[in-house]
């Protein structure tokens, strides 16, 4: 079996929805998937023989504000260093694109903080930033929508 390769580019909508499903993420429909995929500044995919095994995305304004999102590796490949490969590609993009003083953030799932710390990310709050926040009504609505999937 061939080694996985990193390819800069966007996965198909169907691939993205399926990878999210495998990871247990809330359901998104094709329109939402298409919109979020097209809105990324940078996307890198991990593939083996054409099959999507993982991906990482960066969204933001391309100059001062960057959010690292969707660093995903299929569960059966976790621990194999593939997340590190994805993050190295992301960091390369950020080095090329972020202007001095840029804010680069990630909001990891609970328990995944140490992965990002390996790349220099700090937990909030620190001297400069407050605690990360989210809108629970939006999250809960998305989770409810996932339970009524018509697929």
Residue 146 has pLDDT above 60, yes or no: no
Domain count across the chain: 1
Question: Smallest Cα–Cα separation from 90: which of 65, 61, 70?
Answer: 70
Return the higher-pLDDT residue of 113 and 134.
113
Residue 109 sits in which domain range? 5-147
pTM here is 0.85
Residue 7 has pLDDT above 90, yes or no: yes
Q: Is the peptide bond before 125 cis (omega within 30 degrees of 0)?
A: yes
Q: What is the mean pLDDT of residues 76-102?
A: 95
Residue 15: C-alpha distances to residues 19, 129, 139, 147 (Å): 6, 35, 22, 20
What is the tens place of the pLDDT at every residue in 33-82?
A: 999 999 999 999 999 999 999 999 999 999 999 999 989 999 999 899 99
Supply the mean pLDDT for the chain.
Answer: 88
What is the CATH classification number for the domain harbouring 43?
3.40.630.30
68/32 Cα distance (integer angstroms) = 18
> Which residue shows structure tokens 């959010």?
67
pLDDT score of 148:
39
Q: What is the mean pLDDT of residues 12-39?
A: 95
């Amino acid at each position: 079996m061939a080694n996985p390769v990193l390819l800069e580019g966007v996965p198909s909508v169907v691939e993205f929805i399926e990878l999210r499903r495998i990871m247990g993420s809330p359901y998104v429909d094709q329109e939402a998937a298409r919109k979020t995929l097209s809105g990324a500044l940078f996307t890198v995919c991990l593939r083996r023989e054409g099959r999507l095994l993982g991906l990482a995305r960066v969204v933001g304004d391309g100059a001062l504000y960057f959010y690292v999102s969707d660093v995903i590796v299929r569960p059966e490949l976790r621990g194999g260093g593939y997340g590190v490969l994805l993050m190295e590609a992301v960091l390369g993009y950020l080095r090329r694109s972020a202007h001095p003083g840029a804010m680069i953030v990630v909001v990891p799932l609970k328990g995944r903080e140490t992965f990002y710390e390996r790349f220099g990310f700090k937990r909030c709050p620190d001297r400069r930033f407050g605690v990360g926040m989210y809108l629970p009504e939006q999250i809960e609505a998305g989770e409810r929508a996932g339970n009524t999937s018509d697929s």
